[in-house]
Amino acid sequence: MTQKLRIGILSVAHLHADGYIGGLRELPDAEFVGFADEDHPRAEQFARLHNATRYPSYADLLASVDGVVICAENARHLPLIEQAAAAGVGILCEKPLTTSLADAKTAVKLCADANVVLKTAFPMRFNAPALEIYGMVKRGDLGTVLAINGTNQGECPQHHRAWFVDPVLAGGGAITDHTVHIADMLRWMLEREPVEVYAEANHILYREVAPHVETGGIVSLTFDDGTIATIDCSWSKPPYYPTWGGLAMDIIGSGGLATLNAFDQNLTVYRHTQRRGTYGYWGSNADRAMLLDFTAALRGEESRGASGQDGLRAVAVVAAAYESVRTGEAVRVEG
């Protein structure tokens, strides 16, 4: 019998750590051994909530595992990637890979030089509706894809984690938070690279709770074959919306149109005790599939999840978007 991989979580700052721990515990070929976090109150709360083993330090955890899922604040990804690479431990890093293109390049090179796995947490590559659309594009069911309209909207995440609206720790606002998922999906589906970005952003939404970062934005991309796409990355859902947000795409081709709602596998549930409905999700678990793919990569098996290089390319789009907002001009995406 193949020995189970030992997997841990490196920092639980990101709210996705709460979801990943369940997925890790369900993996057939891996054992979730625990987590480490230098924020003691946060770590104690996470340990109690999930009945999870807390390691005294990042070094202690890294000495005990084959792979880690990094769920730190965005600006703290690179230091943890450095530590994991030095320890020879495989990495699945929460998005965005880093908060600057230079740091993303450093992360990719470090892991390549250390010969360790580096994957970026883009679970939409494993989302069932997205895979259906991906197949249509690959088969040519829509003809030549001409344009894509994408939205990755949500509520302001400040009340989930305050650091999301800290421009230093998060690296930005809605553009940083929500551009990368669809940017990666576009590259994945089209197998093309974005070469130019034009973006606009504002602070109209959630101005009171997020005064220092953009809360609304539109990012327009042109790909190397002329395909165009837009990404609405705004934190535009109100706090009373049934869920945190959503991801949708319209794919317009020469032979047809396809629409995607990545989180439509749900029921709307109404209760006498509350005035609004909530979503009861019943669909497939993309996070679990991504984690399963990560363990395959750690074993040297075929992996279709996003690589560190894919994470770098998404960061390049974000960097170009911010430069476009600053200059008011279209900006070339750095290669």
Q: Does residue 305 share a domain with residue 238?
A: yes
Q: Does residue 145 share a domain with residue 79?
A: no
Q: Does residue 187 share a domain with residue 78?
A: no
| CATH classification of the domain holding 95 | 3.40.50.720
Q: Does residue 150 share a domain with residue 89?
A: no
Measure the CA–CA gap between 158 and 297, rounded to whole angstroms.
34
Domain boundary at 121, 150, 175, which?
121
Q: Does residue 129 share a domain with residue 140?
A: yes
**The total number of structural domains that make up the chain:** 2
The pLDDT value recorded for residue 209 is 87
Q: Does residue 48 share a domain with residue 158?
A: no
Confidence check: pLDDT of 6 > 60: yes
3-state secondary structure of 51: coil
Query: Residue 92: left if φ>0, alpha if ψ -120 to 50, beta else—which one?
Result: beta
| CATH classification of the domain holding 291 | 3.30.360.10
Domain boundary at 94, 121, 148, which?
121
Confidence check: pLDDT of 265 > 80: no
Q: Does residue 138 share a domain with residue 53?
A: no
Cβ(180)–Cβ(317) below 8 Å? yes
Q: Does residue 180 share a domain with residue 319?
A: yes
Q: Give the range of the structural domain holding residue 288, as residue numbers without chain letter.
A: 124-332
| Crossing angle between the packed helical segments 128-139 and 174-190, to the nearest 10 degrees | 40
Confidence check: pLDDT of 187 > 70: yes
Mean per-residue pLDDT over the chain, rounded: 94
Q: Does residue 263 share a domain with residue 174?
A: yes
What's the whole-number mean pLDDT along residues 187-201? 97
Q: Does residue 57 share a domain with residue 117?
A: yes
The pLDDT value recorded for residue 2 is 67
The pLDDT value recorded for residue 316 is 98
pLDDT in tens, 36-80: 999 999 999 999 999 999 999 999 999 999 999 999 999 999 999
Q: Does residue 228 share a domain with residue 83?
A: no
The pLDDT value recorded for residue 88 is 98
The pLDDT value recorded for residue 60 is 98
Nearest to 263 by CA among 278, 242, 248: 248
| Share above pLDDT 90 across residues of the chain, in percent, rounded to a whole number | 86
User: Structure pTM?
Assistant: 0.94
pLDDT in tens, 272-295: 776 667 777 667 789 999 999 999
Burial of 31 (0-12, 13-18, 19+ CB in 10 A): middle
pLDDT in tens, 140-152: 999 999 999 999 9
Confidence check: pLDDT of 303 > 60: yes
Domain boundary at 93, 121, 149, which?
121
Backbone angles phi, psi at 49, to 5 degrees: -65, -40
pLDDT in tens, 226-256: 999 999 999 999 888 777 778 999 999 999 9
Confidence band of 263 (pLDDT split at 50, 70, 90)? confident
Nearest to 104 by CA among 125, 84, 75: 75
